[in-house]
Each structure stands twice: as structure tokens, then as C-alpha cells.
Amino acid sequence: MRLTQLFTKTRKQIPADEEARNAQLLIQAGFIHKEMAGVYAYLPLGKRVLDNIAKVVRQEMDAIGAQELQMTTLQPKELFERTDRWDDKKVDNWFKTKLANGSDLGMGLTHEEPIVQALKDYVNSYKDLPIYVYQIQSKFRNELRAKSGLLRGREFIMKDMYSFARTQKEHTELYENAAQAYNKVFDRLGLGKLTYRTYADGGYFTDKFSDEYQTISNVGEDTVYVDEKKMLAINDEIYTPENLTKLGLKKEDLLKKRGVEVANIFPLESKYTDALDLYYTDEKGQQQSIIMGCYGIGVSRLMGIIAEHFADENGLVWPASIAPAQVYLIRLGDDDKVTKAADKLYDDLKKANIEVLYDDRDTRSGAKFADADLLGIPYRLVVSAKTLENDQVELKQRTGQEVTLLAIDKVESSINKP
């Protein structure tokens, strides 16, 4: 896309009403717009990053046989009363609204109940299981405070998946398959080495642990103890000698760190399925409970942590896998030869399916270089009268210092596609 066509612009001033570095940077770069605390709109470049993260998540969920659907935001009170999750004393962060006829509705903050309810039309026999279903969509949580930018939203984008198994053994297989898929997601997002599968409290209706995925970062709000060799961690909340023994972790191998919870997996046993009467009939005709798991990934939170964690003093630094473009192409000066060469390079790269932000603005070179850095695009190319003397282009990677000159016809093969 040509920057003269893009409606957003960068700004130098740090937004005064933002404490969180991720929101400051993303607003300065024109990726997001703050509607209110914890509620952000995604402008064109931000929408691309969000969609790219969602695509990675979607591919890995599809790869384990999960089926995508889209549940609704509006939720009836009655459904959540049946699992005792409607009352504000039980769940304190609902946004609630009313139908014109006065009936109470909630705005979806999690979808165990509606998914179980929907499956009642389709699941009866042992032949209908196991199942994974998932969705990627906006969720709503009425947080008292929301000062962490995309890290803690009142409206945020989440992938939530649910598994339904016939036996504990089958449940464990689904659970571990999903855990492997999660590792692949974090690897592809560039967070693999930073993100620990972390034992956490399983909730009041199971004696199992749950799993959090904690990305180690100084901006994290959670405290975790990590075993770097095993790539495992334990959450502060359950950090007791008994639990360490149970989990085979040794105090001397653990380092205290701060982390951001980017995903989680909960064993739900048959709490929701039993409560809503979703059972299956086994081979012998006996009615059996269904074991459920739920698997969340914070898609917009990941955008926030990636923005904040990888940023340097010059701005954002996107991993290639989710960058809004691969190349930031700078045209220096506007003489005919330069414009023609830059236009042609832009067209050629587009034809090669390489996403390019083309800085075709008539603005000073310093501003162009600064924007290339602030926007965090992996490759920067510069075309100028000087580089064209030898039919060359200047190439620099966002993460490096080295500037190299490259024959113009070698550019395409020098860009790694994600």
C-alpha cells in the first residue's frame, strides 16, 4: 500500500492518557485508536497485525481437527443461571443489557454454556465424539481498571476452543494435542522461547491443575517460577512445596520471573455438560458424562505483548509472521528516474506477493527513516539517485544495524516471506 493512500499517520507525542507502553506505541504508529480505557479500535495497519495473528492461531487449530464457528455476543440469562454464573456475586465482570421486552441479557465473556447448549442438537452417541470447536471473536469483560492497553481489555479479541471427550484418557489426548498446537502458535509468533507452559490453579471443581501460557516479560503482572531447561513453570499462586513435589519441579531449578498470561487451558471435567444435560450414550447403551476442556488464546493481548516486548527506542519491531507488511520501501527524492524505479520495484514486489508499505510521500528523508522504524516493518528498502547509479537498492533489516547495497533485481529473492 502507498503511504499517500493510507489515512493513518505516525505521531511524535506519546498519548497523555496511556500508561502502557504497548498502547502508547501502537497509537503513535497509528495502529489502534482508543475508544475508552480498555476499548480499542484497530486501524488499517493494526487490523492487519490482528488478522495475521488470528490466521496463525486458526491454522494451528484447524491442523488438530478443530472446527471453527461463531457464537453470539448476546446471551440469555437463563442459560448462565443453570450453571450459577449469572449473578454478579458469582461472576463480577459481566456487561449486561436488556431486550426491548425487558429480558436480561449478558454480553459474551466466555462461551462454555452456549457451546454446550448448541451441541445438544448434535451429540447423542459415542460416535459423535470427540469434538473440538473454536471461535475467534470479540469478548467483553467489565474490568474495574483497564490501564494496560491491549494487555487487559474490556473489549478484546480472543480465540476460545472447547473439547468434548468420552473418557478421561481421551480428554487427556485432546488436551495435550491442543497444548502442542499452542506451542506451535507461540513459536510462529516469535514468542516460543519466552513462553512457558505454567501450572496454575485448576478451579474449585477439579483437583487437577490448569495450564497457563506465560510469556516472560518485565511488563507482566503475574509472578511465575520457571524451569528454563524443562521449559515449564509454576504460578506463584500454587507455589508450595507439596505442589512442587507433585509436579516434579525442584525449587533450586526455578527462577522467579514476571509473565503475561497469553493463553490458558482448563480441565472442566463434566461441570458444564452435566449441568446442561449434555450426555452421550456409550456402546452398551448407557448414558455417560462428557469431559470438557477449554482453551483460550488472547489474540489482541498477544498483539499487545509482542508490540511491547520487542519494541526498541525507535519503535515497534514486528516478527515477520505477523508484520502488517514485509517491506517498507522508501523513495528518496522525487526525480523521475527515482520515482519510476521505486514504482516499478513496488509493483514487482506486490506481484511476487510480498506485502509492501511504499513511502511515496513528498516528505523529508529523516521522517521516512523514522517512520520505517516506528512502524516496525521487517525490511527497509531505500531507492535514491545515488543507489540507482549502480542499479542498486539499500537494504536494512529492522532488527539489525547493517545496511547493504543490493542489485535491484536481487531484492525479491532477498526478502524472506513469512
Binding site for a second copy (CB under 8 A): 5-9, 11, 30, 33, 35-36, 39-44, 46-47, 50, 65, 67-76, 93, 95-101, 105, 107, 114, 118-119, 121-123, 128, 131, 133, 137-138, 140, 142-144, 154-155
All cell numbers assigned to 156? 478484546
Q: C-beta of 256: minimal distance to a second copy in Å?
A: 32
Question: Strands, DSSP E only, in 308-407?
Answer: 327-331, 356-359, 379-383, 392-397, 403-407
- Minimum CB distance to a second copy smaller for 42 or for 86: 42
All cell numbers assigned to 298? 488472547
Q: C-beta of 155: minimal distance to a second copy in Å?
A: 5
Q: C-beta of 9: minimal distance to a second copy in Å?
A: 6
Q: C-beta of 26: minimal distance to a second copy in Å?
A: 13
- Minimum CB distance to a second copy smaller for 11 or for 410: 11
- Minimum CB distance to a second copy smaller for 33 or for 258: 33
- Minimum CB distance to a second copy smaller for 20 or for 66: 66
Q: C-beta of 260: minimal distance to a second copy in Å?
A: 22
Which segments of 311-383 does DSSP mark as H helices, in order?
336-351, 365-375
All cell numbers assigned to 212? 497457563
Between CA 146 and CA 153 the distance in angstroms is 6
Between CA 223 and CA 237 the distance in angstroms is 8
Q: How many alpha carbons lie under 13 Å from residue 412 in its C-beta half-sphere? A: 12
- Minimum CB distance to a second copy smaller for 165 or for 226: 165
Nearest to 377 by CA among 351, 349, 350, 397: 397
- Minimum CB distance to a second copy smaller for 143 or for 348: 143
Nearest to 301 by CA among 15, 30, 53: 53
All cell numbers assigned to 223? 509472578
Q: C-beta of 325: minimal distance to a second copy in Å?
A: 14
Q: C-beta of 215: minimal distance to a second copy in Å?
A: 24
- Minimum CB distance to a second copy smaller for 197 or for 301: 301
Beta carbons of 383 and 390 less than 8 angstroms apart:
no
Between CA 374 and CA 14 the distance in angstroms is 12
